[in-house]
């Protein structure tokens, strides 16, 4: 990890919390998928794949300042990361289109 010694120490305290937040969201998606119909489950599994990709990218970041700046206070960062992804937007648009036609 790069940064000053104190930044690295601080980031090393934040990273496990970030990891746990991604795991929490993934668990929520998996629990939801277990109760869904096949088409809905497929979409939720696609969302989980997006989530896992974002998780890997965040955890691969070696800049201590990144964790301090963007993750020191966990709020809705994971949701925001997912919601900016084009695949997520496409899934949401498809879901909305289906509910408008029912």
pLDDT classification of 102: cutoffs 50, 70, 90 = low
Report phi then psi at 63, rounded to 5: -90, 115
Domain range annotation of the chain:
5-100
Q: Is the pLDDT of residue 75 over 80?
A: yes
pLDDT tens digit string along 41-52? Answer: 999 999 999 999
Q: CA–CA separation, 22 vs 77, rounded Å?
A: 10
């Amino acid at each position: 990890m790069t940064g000053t010694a104190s930044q690295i120490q601080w980031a090393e305290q934040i990273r496990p919390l970030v990891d746990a937040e991604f795991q929490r969201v993934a668990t929520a998606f998996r629990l939801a998928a277990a109760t869904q119909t096949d088409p809905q489950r497929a979409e939720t599994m696609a969302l989980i794949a997006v989530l896992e990709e974002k998780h890997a990218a965040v955890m691969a970041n070696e800049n201590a300042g990144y964790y301090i700046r963007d993750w020191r206070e966990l709020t809705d960062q994971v949701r925001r990361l997912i919601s900016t992804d084009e695949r997520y937007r496409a899934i949401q648009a498809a879901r909305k289109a289906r509910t408008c036609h029912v």
